[in-house]
Amino acid sequence: MRELAIDSYGKINLALDVLYKRPDNYHEIISVMQQISLKDNLIFAEIDSGIVIESDNKELPVDSSNLVYKAWEKMKSITGINRGIHVKIEKNIPIAAGLAGGSSNGAATLEALNYLWELNYTKEDLMKIGLSLGADVPFCILGGTAKAEGIGEVLTTLKPFKNKYILLGNPGICISTAYAYSKISLSGNRYDIDGLINCMEKDDITCVAKKMSSKMETAIISENPIIDEIKRIMIANGALGALMSGSGPTVFGLFDDSDKMNNAYNVLIRMIDKVYKCTTI
């Protein structure tokens, strides 16, 4: 029986604008998505039948609600192949944190089964399959830096925004994507997404920090003021900018210097347990 190890990377939203609610109840968005070096480690091993999911994080569901399970079911239904898989998940990305940890695990599973079952699907094929699992899955397969439109599935690759220092602070609150969307206000001005992308193309990190924005932040912060406190601490300790990622509650700070990031880490770790140093990739 063959084994395969895959790194499953998280992502942040450097900008997230929600335009309107569609007739299918999804929301039309414009976002700039960025992969980060914080990752889960997944080990896939073939077994005779069924699926077994194990994790070192006891809070992670390992039943049919897990996107790893759903990805396996989807690939079975598409291909007609009914082979078993054992998946061990070393979980480093916080759960329900706005960092696409579950989507990334689902994407990794599609990639693993494509290899182990010798399907020869292209990345584009896997992205189309991934959309049926969740709006963030196609980006997790694509990786890097991208502008996302539609519900997140219309992706345009952007100039890489690599090797930027990112500090993540997660207050330990679980916020579902559905709940976050239910709380947002769709009124107000549109964000300058094109301006942000222009700053990124010039590699002007200070300009990027000023243009970072999220439609979800206001409503979630009003109910969870600790998110605003994490932002304040990051900026007071050297972050060029700080923003809640995705549906939250994780806050990321963008730094131009590793020493400043380390200083902010040392302050935040006294306040919350889940603080992570990473980079954009």
Residue 63: CB partners within 8 Å, gap ≥ 6? 53, 69
Closest-CA residue to 167 (of 52, 262, 88): 262
- Residue 56 is classified by DSSP as S
- Return the ∠ at Cα 227 (arms to 222 and 233), rounded to 5°: 130
Answer yes or no: 48 catalytic.
no
Report the alpha-carbon distance of residue 168 to residue 250 in Å, rounded: 7
The type of residue at 99 is L
Answer yes or no: 58 catalytic.
no
Report the alpha-carbon distance of residue 204 to residue 70 in Å, rounded: 40
Set 91, 136, 147, 231: catalytic member: 136
Closest-CA residue to 196 (of 36, 14, 28, 17): 14
Set 11, 39, 74, 215: catalytic member: 11
Answer whether the bond into residue 160 is a cis peptide, omega within 30°. Answer: no
- Return the ∠ at Cα 58 (arms to 178 and 13), rounded to 5°: 40
Active site residues: 11, 136
